Amino acid sequence: VMFGQSELDERLKNPRLRQLRQRIVFSYSLKPMDRHALGLYIHHRLFVAGYEGDVLFTPKALDMLYKASNGIPRVVNILSHKALLVGFGQGMHRVTDQHVSRAVNDSGSSTGAVKAPNLSLRTELQLGIAVLIVCGVGLFLFEHLGV
């Protein structure tokens, strides 16, 4: 199983990689999502992760996310995760267009370059503590309840 970006397809067109290309049994390329599909995709990802609350991303946030990502799933994932971190760091219960804007600015472009979020030391400590709490609760549930 191989996963790659569109550049992988370009490299595989090289005649020197003919034998490797012949061994690829199945190939699929994810196409960019439209704006409606992007909203459904984010809702699904949050649901699978266990979120059952109200709509988390505002319509403006989804519009900005779509525009910045061009509907490319990998970029949607990166930018939405960063926007969630920014919102969480500010103690917000909804992700707004300002959170997405900070996520886009942090990434440098809509190409999805991954950088660590530019957060304050206080926010990083809060996020670290939150991660430890979540891991501790998960470990407790796993060991004591078999979840």
Say if residue 139's pLDDT is above 70. yes
Tell me the average pLDDT of the chain.
Answer: 83
Q: What is the mean pLDDT of residues 92-119?
A: 74
Give pTM, 2 decimals: 0.64
Which sign does the torsion angle of CA 63, 65, 69, 74 carry? Answer: negative
Between 22 and 141, the more confident residue is: 22
Return the SS3 of 55.
coil
pLDDT value of residue 122: 65
- Count the Cβ atoms, other than its own, within 10 Å of residue 73: 17
pLDDT value of residue 26: 80
Would you list the DSSP string of 82-146?
A: HHHHHHHHTT-SSB-HHHHHHHHHHHSSTT---------HHHHHHHHHHHHHHHHHHHHIIIII-
